[in-house]
Amino acid sequence: MTEGTASSSDSKSPSKSWEQRNPEIEREITIDEYNPKGTLTLTLLYLAIIVLMWVFMFFVEFGGNAPSIIG
């Protein structure tokens, strides 16, 4: 990716990764080490919420009321 190297904040030491040059990074995590279990949990939580809300909309609002404004 051209943009990564084109604007490196530390072009004098290109052998170091971005993580090694960034003081806020405690440890570099490679693709093999990374397990996005938090992401999976949040995604499943979101899906559960929207399914429940859709069921609420369909059975309580749509099933229980006539359409309000059409046209």
Partner 1 sequence: MTFIHKYPKAAKVSKANFIVAFIALAIGGFFGFIQALHRTDVFRGFVNSGEYYTLLTGHGVLLALIFTTFFIAGLFVWGVTRSLDREPENMAYTWSWFWLMVIGTVMAAFTILGGLVPDSSIRAAVLYTFYPPLQAHPAFYIGLAMVVVGSWMAAADWFWSYSKWRDDNPTERIPILSFMTLFTMLMWYVCTIGLAIEVVGLLIPWSLGWVVEIEPLLPRTLFWFFGHAVVYFWLLPAYYVWYAILPKLSGGRLFSDSMTRIVFIIFLLLSTPVGYHHQYADAGISVGFKFYAMATTMMLLLPSLMTLFTVIASMEHGAKQRGGKGYFAWISKLPWNNPAFVGCALAGIMFAAGGFSGMINAGMNINLLIHNTIWIPGHFHLTVGTAVALTFMAVTYWLLPQLTGRKLKFKTLALIQPYSWFLGMTLMSNAMHRAGLAGVPRRTAEPEFNTNAMNFEPIFGTMSEMKWQIAIGGTILLISLILFLWVVISSWMAGQKSEKPVDDHIPEPLSGVEHTPAILDNMKLWFALALILVVLAYSFPLWEMIQDGIFSPGALPRPS
Helix (H, G, I), strand (E, B) or coil at 58: helix
When asked if residue 23 is in the footprint of partner 1 (CB under 8 A), the reply is no
Smallest distance from partner 1 to CB 15, Å: 14
Task: Name which of residues 43 to 62 contact partner 1 (CB under 8 A).
Answer: 43, 46, 49-50, 53-54, 57-58, 60-62
Give the Å distances, CA to CA, from 27 to 11, 19, 21, 34, 45.
21, 7, 11, 12, 28
**Cα–Cα distance, 44 to 37 (Å, whole number):** 11
For partner 1, the closer of residues 15 and 68 by Cβ is 68
When asked if residue 2 is in the footprint of partner 1 (CB under 8 A), the reply is yes
